[in-house]
Structures are given as C-alpha cells and as structure tokens.
Structure 1
Amino acid sequence: MVFKNKVVVITGGSEGIGKALVEAFIAQGAKVATCGRNYDKLYMLQSIHAGKPLMVQAADVSNETDCKNFINAVIKVYGTIDILINNAGISMRSLFKETSIETLQRLMDVNFWGAVYCTKFALPYIIQTKGTLLGVSSIAGYRGLPGRCGYSASKFAMNGWLEALRTELMDEGVNVMWVCPGFTASNIRNVALNKDAKPQGESPLDESKLMTAEECAQHIMKAIEKRKRTLVLTAQGKETVWMNKLFPSLTDKLIKRFFYKDGELVK
C-alpha cells in the first residue's frame, strides 16, 4: 500500500483513464480529489465510493479560476498534495485545412493550459512533499499525427514544458514525468472535436481491441511508484516512437498508410 494516505489529485476523473486512476488509488488507500466538467458523472462516482476519501468538484481546466478554486478546495480538505496527475484532455479528428481556429484553441486551452494552471497552483505543496507531477500525454506528443494537428501540438507542448520543469525541480526532490498511453479504450475519441469544434460522436477505432483504462491506470501507478521519467505504453506506441527517431521518412509513410485509405482519412 505505497499510496496509503497519500493525497492524489487527478484532473478529468469522471470517465476513462482518469476514472480508472481515481478508483485504483482509492483501492490503495489514497486520499483522492478529482474534477471534471460533468457534475452528474462526478456525483455518481462519489456515490459509488461513499465513505471513502474522495473529493469531487466541477471544474473546467481550461479556466484558470476553476483550476485555482479546485486546488484551493483540495488543500482545504486534505491540507497538502503528494501527487498531481494532469489527465484532463480532449482530442480532435479533422484535417488542418478544414479545421477552425476555435478547434485548435480549445485543444491548447484544455490539454496544455489546463495542465499549466493546475500545476501552478499545486506546485508549492508538491515541492513540500517532494511528490510527483505527472502529465498524461500521448504518442502524438512524440510524433505528429494526421487529423490531429492540434492534439499533437498540445501534447508536444506538454512534453516540452514538463521536461523543462523536471530540470528546474531537480534539486527540489520532485519527480516530473509524463505518460503516453497509446490507443486506450475510453470516451476520448467519441468526444473528439471535429473541424467545427463539435464532438464527432463516434470512434474510428475498434475500442474492444484496445488496452483498457483500468490496465492503463495500473501501469501509471507502477511508474509513479518507481518515480520513472517517462512511460510509453503499448507495443505500437513504443514502435512508433523509436521508428520516428531512427527512420523518420519511413515512419511518415507508415503513419500515412495507417490513418488513410484511398487518400481519405479513416482513423
């Protein structure tokens, strides 16, 4: 029970990987706080774990004030923070030439700025506890993916920002890391934004064949326990990262073949 009585803050904990992390840390005896935009889902989550140390608060991480209020509420309830997991995020699926600026701004606001805001307010407490700061990134943060230019941009930004923080905080005893789950079964593709910044409402992948959110959560917890630098999950994800480093031109062609069919974006 490595995480027993540790205060773990997880953004975007109402579904998907975030929800799986919430439940996994509760099972380990941690004191958990999470936020999300859908209060009904948060209320249901809290009801399922009634009597357990779980704090929920409705918040949009793209809003700086919401993030500040959420972290302040965590401190009021638990007094400190040991682990911050910046998990809240949205995806997209549309070609850049067809994509509205609004879509790209929304991706950066949630995926990058949401992590920045929560970290800014939580960091003094994480420094005190010599804890862990984690960002849930993506293979798209290592390799730009077609149809996901804004998503890739936001995850590249997250990775670079966290790498800078890791160096800045080396003498503070804080572990800074990011995790790239690869394709994981979740709702993120159903709510991925289309060219007009509206949820596309469907997944282009067979979700039943993907790693489950629960399995992903277990890998993340083990990485935090070992205070790893980075974690890339799935064989496909690892292959993509290394192929892109060693054979970038070939990887361009392989990525094109994976995402396109007869000249049309299908994934």
Structure 2
Amino acid sequence: MRELEPAPATAQTVAWPPPVKGPARGLFAGQVAIVTGSESGIGRETARALCQQGVAVVLNGRHAQRLAQTLREFELAGFAVTSSLTDVTDYAACEELVAVAVQTFGRLDILVTNASISQRAYFADMHPDVFRQVLDSNVYGTVYPLKAALPHLTRTRGSVTFISSISALNGMPSGSAYCAGKAAVANLSHTLRLELAHTGIHFGVVHIGFTQNDPDKRVLDAAGQPVPIAHRPPRWQKSQAEVAAIILTHIRRRRQRTIISALGRLIVLVHTYLPRLGDWIVLTTTRRLRHFYE
C-alpha cells in the first residue's frame, strides 16, 4: 500500500453545540457524525445530507486536496463541519479520527463507514497484495473506525451504518476481493447487532446498487493500478444524492438492512430461491456483456 500523508493535528475542544451559520434544526439536530470516505462520491453526499439535517460532521479521506476542497464547500454552506486526513485501515489513525469528533464537537452519535477501494480484475490475474489492499479497505476500514468509536457510541446509544454493496448478495466476476469484503461487512453488522444488543446501538447495513460516480472515480486493476470503473448503463444508476437520501432514511428508522435498487432486491430473490438461475444469468452476461465486468 502506498505511503499516505499524515493526518492533521486534531482541532481544539469547543463548546457543544458549535455555532452554525445554516439551519440549526433538522431530523438529527444536535448530533455528531463521522462519515468515512466523505471527501467525494456517496460519502460526500451522505455527509452533506446529514449536515442539512442539523448534524455536525467530521469529513474524512486520504487525499488532502480533495478533502480540503469538500471542507471549504461545506463551510461556505454554513455547515458545522471539520475534517480528518485519515487512512481508516490504520487503527491508531482511526483513534485520532474519533478524537477529532469528540474534541471538536463533544460527542459522537452516528458512524457511517463508507470508505473502501473497489477493483476491476479477475482473481487468477490479481497480485496477492492487491487482493489484500481491497479486502483491508473494506473490512478493516470498517472494523477500525467502529472499534475506536464504540465507547462513545455506547454512551449516546448511537447509530452505525456499514456501507456494503449489492455485490455482497451474490458473487460478481472481476470483483472477488470487493465482493468478499462487502459480504464480510454485512455479516459483521448482523453479528454485532446480536452481540451488542444490550448497548442500544443501532447496527445496520446498506447495500448500494449502481450509482453515478465522480468523473475521476478509479478502481484497482490486477496489478494495483487505478483504472476507470467498468461500464454501467446510465438508466440503472441512481444519483449520489438519491443514495444519500436513502441512507439517511435508513439511519433515521434504525433499519437493520436496506437494499438500494430493484436490481438488488431481485438479486436477493433469485439468489435465495433460484440460485442456479442466478448463476446462469451471471455466466451468460459475462460472455455476452464483457464490458459490464471488464
């Protein structure tokens, strides 16, 4: 994994609630959230939607320039926001990330683990280090922020939302490490919901479907090089804002599982009751629509 820039020093403690220029009311007014991977894409729009509902948000990412740009945009909108340049696959860095939230805003109520790396490579061709990098980003990039945040979320009986994918519901060629990581996240959510039921913390998972991407969105190829994401028909895609709105509803209703898109729900139905048909469909599309996977 490439060397990352160090996380900035944590902000000084300020009184809660912090002064805000924008609306002080909303569905989650007075609450504090961390959204990992919120410098861009779905994470950024989820953070924006939370801010619009009165939440103070800690933005997170690994690219300093992109994170700073999102932070400036949110500050100009009058949101209560700060940021942490953090690699969420580093546990010590995740402790710093949580410290930013608590020291700046005084508490932590919501954690959305969105940060992850995806791939566009067949298993037989993948370098083992690339497989590990994708898996680490999805699994440890979820486990470490939660582990660091758990005492604070217990105190507030807060909410944890793991961002998974419809790829976790049924295997997808050219996505072995990503599918495995997202499936692990879904199972982790179920396990923790049982194991930590006494804490009152909400544990839920959202399975994201095909979503419009930022123009510079990249995934890893078999050698670990960034490449554009595989083709997705525009008519199958939801906007990032639509996905963010669904995630907020999931958090507000403290749902256990949310599957975004009719395709995702169809995958669950077929995988559960007609698994051989599901495999036939995937294998057929792999032969006839290779650009869909490659």
Is TM more than 0.5 here?
yes
The match for 2:18 is: none
Q: Please show how residues 239-254 of structure 1 align to structure 2 within 5 Å.
A: 239-254=266-281
Are residues 1:96 and 2:129 paired?
no
Note if contact 1:38-1:58 (Cα within 8 Å) is conserved in structure 2.
Answer: yes
Q: Partner letter of residue 171 of structure 2?
A: G
Query: How far has the Cα of 1:189 moved from its partner?
Result: 9.3
Note if contact 2:120-2:230 (Cα within 8 Å) is conserved in structure 1.
Answer: no
The match for 1:132 is: 159
Are residues 1:226 and 2:256 paired?
no
Query: How far has the Cα of 1:218 moved from its partner?
Result: 0.2
- Counterpart pick for 1:165 among 164, 189, 192: 192
The match for 1:40 is: 65
Tell me, in whole angstroms, the C-alpha distance in 1 between the residues paired with 2:215 and 2:275: 27
Note if contact 2:230-2:292 (Cα within 8 Å) is conserved in structure 1.
Answer: no
Distance change (3 Å), C-alpha of 1:208 and 1:36: farther
Alignment TM-score, normalising by the size of structure 1: 0.95
Query: How far has the Cα of 1:75 moved from its partner?
Result: 1.2
Deviation per CA, 1:136-176: give whole Å up to 9, x if none.
00112121111100001101111111111000111211110
Q: Please show how residues 77-226 of structure 1 align to structure 2 within 5 Å.
A: 77-187=104-214, 190-207=217-234, 209-226=236-253
- Percent identity reads 26
Unmatched tracts of structure 2, length 5 or more = 1-25
Q: Secondary structure at 2:227's aligned position in 1?
A: coil
Q: Secondary structure at 1:260's aligned position in 2?
A: helix
The match for 2:92 is: 65
Deviation per CA, 1:81-101: give whole Å up to 9, x if none.
101000001111111111111
Note if contact 1:36-1:57 (Cα within 8 Å) is conserved in structure 2.
Answer: yes
The match for 2:38 is: 13
Tell me, in whole angstroms, the C-alpha distance in 2 between the residues paired with 1:6 and 1:260: 49
Count, aligned residues: 266
RMSD (Å) for aligned C-alpha atoms:
1.7
Distance change (3 Å), C-alpha of 1:72 and 1:139: same
Tell me, in whole angstroms, the C-alpha distance in 1 between the residues paired with 2:143 and 2:202: 16
- Counterpart pick for 1:238 among 265, 270, 273: 265
Tell me, in whole angstroms, the C-alpha distance in 1 between the residues paired with 2:292 and 2:167: 17
Query: How far has the Cα of 1:205 moved from its partner?
Result: 1.9
Q: Which has more radius of gyration?
A: 2
Deviation per CA, 1:212-265: give whole Å up to 9, x if none.
110000011011111111000100111011110111111001122234327x56
Distance change (3 Å), C-alpha of 1:37 and 1:208: farther
Note if contact 1:186-1:207 (Cα within 8 Å) is conserved in structure 2.
Answer: no
Note if contact 2:52-2:79 (Cα within 8 Å) is conserved in structure 1.
Answer: no
Tell me, in whole angstroms, the C-alpha distance in 1 between the residues paired with 2:213 and 2:153: 29
Note if contact 1:190-1:199 (Cα within 8 Å) is conserved in structure 2.
Answer: no
Deviation per CA, 1:116-154: give whole Å up to 9, x if none.
000000011111111111100011212111110000110
Tell me, in whole angstroms, the C-alpha distance in 2 between the residues paired with 1:161 and 1:125: 19
Tell me, in whole angstroms, the C-alpha distance in 1 between the residues paired with 2:29 and 2:95: 26
Tell me, in whole angstroms, the C-alpha distance in 2 between the residues paired with 1:166 and 1:23: 27
Note if contact 1:96-1:147 (Cα within 8 Å) is conserved in structure 2.
Answer: yes
Q: Partner letter of residue 23 of structure 1?
A: R
Q: Secondary structure at 2:34's aligned position in 1?
A: strand
Note if contact 2:232-2:292 (Cα within 8 Å) is conserved in structure 1.
Answer: no
**4+ long deviations beyond 6 Å:** none
Note if contact 1:91-1:189 (Cα within 8 Å) is conserved in structure 2.
Answer: no
Q: Secondary structure at 2:218's aligned position in 1?
A: coil
Q: Partner letter of residue 8 of structure 1?
A: A
